[in-house]
Structure 1
Amino acid sequence: MKRKIWFTFIIMAIMPTLLISYVMLQYVQTATIDSKMESLCRTSRMMEHRLTDYSNALRSDLQKKTKLSLVMQLIHESAEDTESLDLQERTQLRMRLLDDISFPVISGAIIDIKGNVLISTIPSEEGMNLRKTELYNEMISGRESYLGIVTINETSDILDYAVPIKAEDGKTIGILKQTLKMDPLQEYLDTLDINDNDYSFLIKKNGMLVFQYNKANSGMLYQDYRNKNTLDQLIKEFRSGQLKSESGEVNFEKEGDKYVGSYKTVDKLGCIAVASVKRDTVYSDIHKSKEIMVAIGLVVALLAISGGYYTSLVLTRPLKQISSCTKKMTDGDLTIRCSCSGNGEFQELCSGINSLADNLQKSERELRLSSRIDSLTHLPNRSAIYEVLDTLLYKNPNQALLMLDLDGYSDINENLGYEIGERVLMEVSDVLRLLPQHICYPSRLIGDTFLIFITNWTSAKYPEQIAERIIKEIEGIRFIDEIHIDISISIGIEYTNVEKIDKKKLIKHSSLAMQKSKTLGTNSYFIYNPYLQREM
């Protein structure tokens, strides 16, 4: 009790003095910092404005080239799978692609709507497909332009810029790409009126340094600047599309010096413009207050040590309990739950940890479940139906396996495309999913082969009834998105018997019966018998 009174007395005596000193010092610091940050904010906004102008000028120049008659003719030829441009015209078109616009051009290419490079000033690029590139996907998504920094040996010295080629109705029918030198962009930014003490630069999503005001280390990666600071976090959030604000403050370290600054996103280029200054420069006008800050810091440190000693006595026990529980959770025991005596923050912390453990358990169960479901049809997969057989096989007297295989499915894939083929499988899975539950257990084994386990029925010849029902439903599938399809099904049936053979043999027998049904004509089923194996 004496110690508590002693601590209370000290805190009550020094707190007013400490508070007044802190408020005064904070006011001076805040006023100085706010003034400097406003200046940096103006610089970053100015960079963003200049870069947007640069991008607009590029887009305007490239759009003029998309209107060339040879360009439109080449795009239309690609769409119609014809070729009428002779060698002279293709050479002329390559030369037009190399014509300088407002910026020096290194190379150019025309890409059709499928991502194929139809013509390029670099012959080795012709015939390449760019469907998986960022450039293609950005253009197809509807963007009016694309600018990418081309990285060569950890430097960024050229730009890829592209605009869509549009038909008269405004629909994108191709892409025109130009590779440009970086020098004009750097010269463009060098015209900014930036304070000599400021450190300003432009950085891409991948951390590539595109431009520095002093140009001393242009092209260096941003890892040179990070030290678990907000610049590192800013780039990570920008890269993942989770940036909370288009502008704000940033702190980082470079070569041991701490910097503070302001950033502004440049959507046109997919970059961040940063204007910063050394932290020491910001505080240059308040050095006289350092001694006061040190004195206050010492006092606060002493108070913190004293208060920390007291607080540790109060907090040690519940923290040990919580630490023990969380260690067991990290070791994999998600059944453990935290509990501690008393009320308040520790109870809330325990509740939060327990809620997290509940969510982890739920996620683990969902992950385990997803490993048993076929991703396309959402039916149980091979592993899942095997588990069902291991659990229910021979538990009831009436049981059978139906093996289903689609006839003509490969022709659909070859003639109509794999997308239509997948839609057919989804339609078939919808038919199987409507079978009586707890009696029929449908699954997808592989490709266009399905397996149904039927158990505990009461009607005579129930598996044959199910087979006829499936055949009738499959016969009704004639159109997918107004595309006519010709599909049928073959079914093999294997009944269980007193011999209790294992599930693999049962599946093999149903497969043999299914193969036999294929010889009987489309949309038929066949029941396995011992003589069938000799025939096959």
Structure 2
Amino acid sequence: MIFKTIRSTLTAFNSLAIASLCAAVLSFAIFQHEELYSEAVTSNLDGLSNNMAEDLFTILGASNIDKLEVTKALLELTEYENVDFAIVVDKDFKEIEFHAGKPLQEIGRPNLSVDTEQLRELEIGMSTSKGQLYAKKLIGEVAFPLGYLLIANDLQNPLDRSKIALMKNVLPLTIIVIGIGIALSLWLNSKMLLPFQKLARLAHQIKQTNDYSIDIKVHGKQEVTDLSNEMSSMMDTIHDEEIKNKHYTQQLMQQRKDMERLANFDSLTGLPNRQFFMETLRKSLSQAEGENDDMVLMYFDLDGFKGVNDTHGHEVGDKLLIEASKRTQRFLRHGDLIARLGGDEFLILLYNDPNDFVVTDIAERIIKEISKPFYISDWEILISVSIGIARATDAKYNLSDFVSNADVAMYKSKVEGKNKHTIFIPAMMEDNRRRLIIANSIVSGLRNNEFQVYYQPKVNADEQIVGFEALLRWSSDELGLVSPDEFIMIAEQSGKINQITEWLLKEVMFNYASILEHFGEDTVIALNLSAHDLKNAKILELITSLYARHMINPKCIEFEVTESTYLENFDMANAFFENIRTLGSSIALDDFGTGYSSLSYLTQIQLNTLKIDKQFVDNLGISKRSTLVTKTVIEMAKQLNLNICAEGVETRQQMDFLVAHGCHQLQGYLFGKPTDLPTLLAVPYKKESKRVLPFMR
């Protein structure tokens, strides 16, 4: 009886101990799983919010905040299913943009309001409250905040689901273990108690070491062996879950590193990108100002890169950017920083107050190296580089002024012929200010009829008028007379040249009938097009509609494009002018010989007229080289059956030479200056003779 009582007591005790042990192991596993999960989610949200705050820094730092860009940045959270919401506020905690995550969308609360006062009180960093994980991040610097980002992530519900999944996997095994333990307790004896003690020690070891990979192998009777195997299986399950969590955490960390690299480095060249460079420059300027030190900034882009893209394709253009960046890096000193600003624009930051000799030497080495031929995809490509140089002291350590000064100097290099470097001086700012005023005044000038079309006559060898070239003049109410050489370039750079061309087309087509009525129906009017016009599909549509509206004979309209514009956009120009020829109009190549050694191209393009540039005409009889080139061009054009027109004819000697060598048309001050339409039509004109009018001279 006593034996039965002891056996029953031992059985009950052992059964309770086994159940308690299994429950303890299960509880510890769940607790450990919960801790690992929380750490992984917190780390992920911390990295995600940091990256988004850095992205939003660039957007909020702009003079005008683009809410669409903020929305696009927040839409990246759509793929994170446990993000409840995110909100971006300015430095005064006024809401800029709110993003509702999938949980709010599913419960029908996409417009949940957030108490900005509570947001203000919330500490920066990571925090939890009522099953929610919050990441509040500062956008900008502590001294100069631009705003704040708050991301709320549902922590409790996903954790509960994860624990339930774990329970589903582990609980059956636990029940089996308890059942076997109860069965084994019926056969409890001193020999069987030893394996249980060993199991207890192993469980204790697992708890102390958190090592679920420990192999549980306890030998004894069949029940003990089964219990050992079941517990080992349960440990394997827990160990597998632990490995999965660690792998998930590693993936999150790698994703964070990848996102940081994408945020800070250019994917094509591997150089630091604009965001990283500007942030580094901001810190460096602050340090240099504190130490009364100076730095130099080089701003440069590749001359002719757009033509490479248009002619050879973007793949060749990308390879060219990579090779150009590699060549440039060879001449930088240790510690200097180069970054790709975007497109074909680059920035170089030279530290440690380099003297003018060092700066000039680096710039000239870069120019010389970039000017060497690039051999890419079986193509020999020639480009150049224009460099602008500025010092931090001239900008008074202001980041925006520092970059702007270098940009202005670079523009000066381009205006003065490219393939050179220019050091910024304060006087350039006035030129830049005028450039901005001109760019901003073009649209209003068109709207207020400040532009006017002037017509310069073209004559044949007998000085009879055969046509006119339509030329733009701009008399601005604010700026006075603005030279076409000045405002055309600015219009192209500011993206407003298409508006000018459209205005010119409409004005010339409107004047068409009056000119032909006065000078004869075979008079040809020539209009100039820019490279931007060749890319504008609306231009061709406009020309077609104007021809129909004003009943224009297309043969009386000729379109001129410069040699450099044609060849830098070769395929596009060919396609555009093929459509123009289909309409019935003619094509003229202007400024021939000034941009390229391109005689071979004349056999590949379809032209009607070749215009000899004024610089060759000016040197006729003075420069043997110009005289020989002019003769060669005329003879070649005659062999290709092209109409030949010489520009800038100002003397009888020039006229006699050109006519004697077979030039078909002449244009210049000798025959007439550009004249406005009322003056052009004011004096009676004999259509039979078509002689140049006296007032034109």
Verify same fold: TM over 0.5: no
Greater relative CO, 1 or 2 (CA 8 Å, sep 6+): 1
TM-score normalised per structure 1: 0.40
With structure 2 as the length reference, what TM-score do the two structures score?
A: 0.31
Q: Which is higher, the Rg of structure 1 or of structure 2?
A: 2
Greater percentage in helix: 2
